Structure 1
Amino acid sequence: MKRDELLDAAEGLLADHGSQALTLAAVAERAGVSKGGLLYHFKTKDALVAGMIERLIADFDALIAAQEETRYTRAYVRATFVAVQSGRLRRWAVATGAAGDPALLVPLREAMARWHSHDLAAEPDPVMSRIVRLACEGVWEAATQCPAIFDPGRSPAQGDYPGLRDRLLSLLP
């Protein structure tokens, strides 16, 4: 069993049953491995949650890097909408929801600080770049808390993802 399969099982368990259901035994059962097999990769529940958080940071970093943009903020906007539309948003919701210990969220806070300050001075309009990056955080939050407000069949004024993405990109020089 690979580490990512165990993380997938933990995320699925969290999404289906909430943080109270996240136990090492339940994750092992869902993944179809022995508890010892799970413990080989994750010694504690906190280590499992930390693994989910590490993976979501690495995933978003990879999404940013994969965008064919010369400016970081433009890549950040595109990566945000790829993440939201592809269902990767679930990773954010479940991993952060499972982190009962605030210390587990330190890597995520550090990543967010990095994402929001990265290369701002190189942007043609650093203030607008910061505003657009923060607006992306609003998209994440809204899509997590009320996904029904975003519907591909709606017009941009009503909340479709491509329309919102394009509008945010149009704000950047």
Structure 2
Amino acid sequence: MKRDLLLDAAEQLLAEQGTTALTLAAVATRAGVSKGGLLYHFPTKDALVKALVQRLIDEFDAAVDERADGSPGGYTRAYVDATFDIVTDRDPHRARRRWAVVAAAATASALADPLREATRRWHRRDDDTDVVTARIVRLAVDGLWEATDYAPLLFDAEECEQLRRRLVRLLEDPGDTSEVAGTAAT
């Protein structure tokens, strides 16, 4: 599909040359289409960046949905597994492209709105488990994603697997939640 070809070209430009290199003319050239062909799908640079962000969100949603099993804590386990699949993807080109899309969205507040809304949805999702533990686990994997965007080889495969297992275990045994429930003695 030509639309995906254009989005791929835009991601590549962002990853290789940064946000200042992302122009409609450069994307058209990279994709091997006319500027008019690009404008048919994306009339503005903002429309292109919004589409890049939406594709990133849709891909993550699909990865989580594919793994979710409907059990208590199942959504958060799927969130952990999907994130670890991304974090442990050793293809540096894909990792840079994901980060580049987020960086491009950060250039204007309105461009990041879909990502902010998705983040709210991901972190407010009811999971039929201890709410605070689920949030801690999701925030931890988000932090891991952020850290590995800056340092992709921060943890080797074994370390990543240890982290993943520990986070999943937290969901299975959240420990003493009395403080969270407001029943702790003061």
Q: Which has the larger radius of gyration?
A: 2
The aligned runs of 1:41-60 (5 Å cut-off) are 41-60=41-60
Which of 1 and 2 has higher RCO (CA within 8 Å, sep 6+)? Answer: 2
Does 68-77 or 43-52 show the bigger shift?
A: 68-77
**SS of alignment partner, residue 148 of structure 1:** coil
Q: Which of 130, 142, 145 is residue 147 of structure 2 equivalent to?
A: 142
Cross-structure match for 1:97 = 103
Distance 1:84 1:50 in 2: 23
After superposition, give the CA deviation of every residue in 1:40-86 in whole Å (9 maximum; x if it has no partner).
Answer: 11001100000000100100000000115331111110111122233
1:2 Cα deviation after fit: 1.6
After superposition, give the CA deviation of every residue in 1:75-118 in whole Å (9 maximum; x if it has no partner).
Answer: 11011112223355444311121121111101100000000010
Are the aligned partners of 1:73 and 1:133 in contact in 2 as well (CA < 8 Å)? yes
| Count of residue pairs the alignment pairs up | 165
Are the aligned partners of 1:89 and 1:140 in contact in 2 as well (CA < 8 Å)? no
Cross-structure match for 2:161 = 162
Root-mean-square deviation over aligned CA pairs: 1.5
Does 64-73 or 40-49 show the bigger shift?
A: 64-73
Give TM-score scaled by structure 2 length: 0.83
Give TM-score scaled by structure 1 length: 0.89
Cross-structure match for 2:26 = 26
Are the aligned partners of 2:68 and 2:77 in contact in 1 as well (CA < 8 Å)? no
Structure 2 residue identity aligned to 1:59: E
**SS of alignment partner, residue 153 of structure 2:** helix
Cross-structure match for 1:79 = 82
Structure 1 residue identity aligned to 2:26: A
Structure 2 residue identity aligned to 1:162: E
Question: Runs of 5+ in structure 1 lacking a partner?
Answer: none
Distance 2:123 2:95 in 1: 18
Are the aligned partners of 2:64 and 2:78 in contact in 1 as well (CA < 8 Å)? yes
Distance 1:89 1:67 in 2: 21
